[in-house]
Amino acid sequence: MDFTRWLPRRLSPQKVNLRRLILALTICSAFIPFANTFYASYTVQRQQLIDTTLEANHAYATKLASSTEDFLQSALQQLDYAAQVIATHMDDAPRLQEETARLQLQSRSFNSVGIFDAGGVVLATSPATLKITGRKVDSEGVRKSLAARGPVISDPYLSAAGNFIVFISQPIFARDGRYLGMVAGSIYLKQENILDQLLGTHFYEDGSYIYVVDRGKRIIYHPDNQRVGNVLAGNAAADEIAAGHGGKSLVINSQGVETLAGFAVVPSTGWGIVAQRPQEATLAPLHALMRTVLYKTLPVAVLTLLAICWSARRIARPLQLLANGARTMDKPSTDQTIRAVKSWYFESHELKKAMLIGIGLLQKNISKLREDVNTDPLTGLGNRRYLNAEVAGFQAQETPFAVIAIDIDHFKRVNDSHGHDAGDAVLRQLAAQMREISRADDIACRVGGEEFLLLLPKVPLHRAAQVAERLRREIEANELPVVGRITISLGVSCWPGGEASTRSVFKQADAMLYQAKRNGRNRVAVYEAPRAQD
């Protein structure tokens, strides 16, 4: 009976088997360095690309700012030369008209050119389609130039004709120093102009582009002409330009796109030229490269994973089988199971050897313990526990059996007259003779001081009575040292008999034993089942 079922059971944490542990550790040891290297490589290259792009855009913006400054200075020089020529011909209208046409058409630096007198009246203009000759112009650029009486590059403003322009002018002085007026060129920012030629040819198809803002963060050039005139808010590059600084930084544009911007300031105007490229476009080649690396390493990774799984199984298999054997070490078949384990590496081989030695000792101790538990130590016969187990087996298999109950006559007298050692000798002698008359399947037990039982499986009642009589005669005929002759009384019964329970057959045999004693001892009494009455 398993008494451990009444003991409280402790909940033990779930254990990880060795195969999974090896697999997990190996995969982690392979995957983590690979992932770390992959991530570190990506991070370094990503930052390098960003830094390179920022530096390139800054250098490019600086170059364009320098080119724009050169253009503006060149435009001022053109106008200055024209002012010196015009100074002696302020009253010659055809000459003035000729000079404005030359300035407007020769270099194409300006969308329009005009000559103004000291009061702001237009003396000549090109193209003639403007039709403002003879009129006084009171625009922001004209006012500023007349007031300055020097070279002027105006901030962008909306002209009276509705053009968003930059006004560039040079004063006209007579030889005696009198201020005669000015010659000026206008750049129409929302029409095709010199800035388009200077900056527009550098527009990239990957989303990179150039735009220009003035000191007020107003866009004065943009590839999308509709954006010209808009004021940028929340733009880091525009903020730096407004403060007069050039540089490079990550900028989120008005569309919410992260861009890598380099920017530089045009010294004479304070304009800022911004060269920017979407960060996504910058990193796209890196992402494609990393995907290619990943795709090319994936087959190798899969093969490696399969090899790891196979190796983990090969390594863990012997230990798993040994662990399974350790759970059933008390079973006789475990020894052969352990011997069949193929321990192909040193540690499992040594563990297998140790387990076989341990199993041998354990089986030996278990056998000895079972023998001690089921055996009467004095006679070597089975005890009551052994008897109960055998009877349960007969009953489970419905095996009929006969019972012979045996008791030594006047055994107390033997102990009192000759001592307990002599009594023990009598008991051992009876046990020996019971074994002599028993078959291999018969069950001989000592169940009390001088009480014995003999179970005869598959033996009918009359045959059991014959066995009992034979044992009685042999005991009676045998003379023992010191004690002399002894006799025994026997009771015989059989199962199944009149009762269905096995317990009843022992009661019947016991009753027959006492009947034999009442009838004078040294005899056999056989239980006869009552016959059914007609």
Q: Which residues are part of the catalytic machinery?
A: 450
User: Three-state DSSP class for 314?
Assistant: helix
Contact 254, 211 (CB under 8 A): no
Helices and strands of the chain, counted as H and E runs: 13, 18
Q: Report the alpha-carbon distance of residue 254 to residue 235 in Å, rounded.
A: 8
Burial 449-469 (b: 16+ CB within 10 A, else e): ebebbbbbbebebeebbebbe
3-state helix, strand, coil in the chain (%, to 5): 50, 20, 30
How many Å separate Cα 298 from the centre of its chain? 17
Task: Quote the crossing angle between the two packed helices 346-374 and 384-397, to the nearest 10°.
Answer: 100
Residue at 431: amino acid letter: A
Whether omega for the bond prior to residue 171 falls within 30 degrees of 0, making it cis, is no
Q: Report the alpha-carbon distance of residue 279 to residue 277 in Å, rounded.
A: 6
Find the length of the chain: 534
Q: How far is CA 523 from CA 371, 453, 487, in A?
A: 33, 16, 9
Nearest to 227 by CA among 239, 237, 247, 213: 213
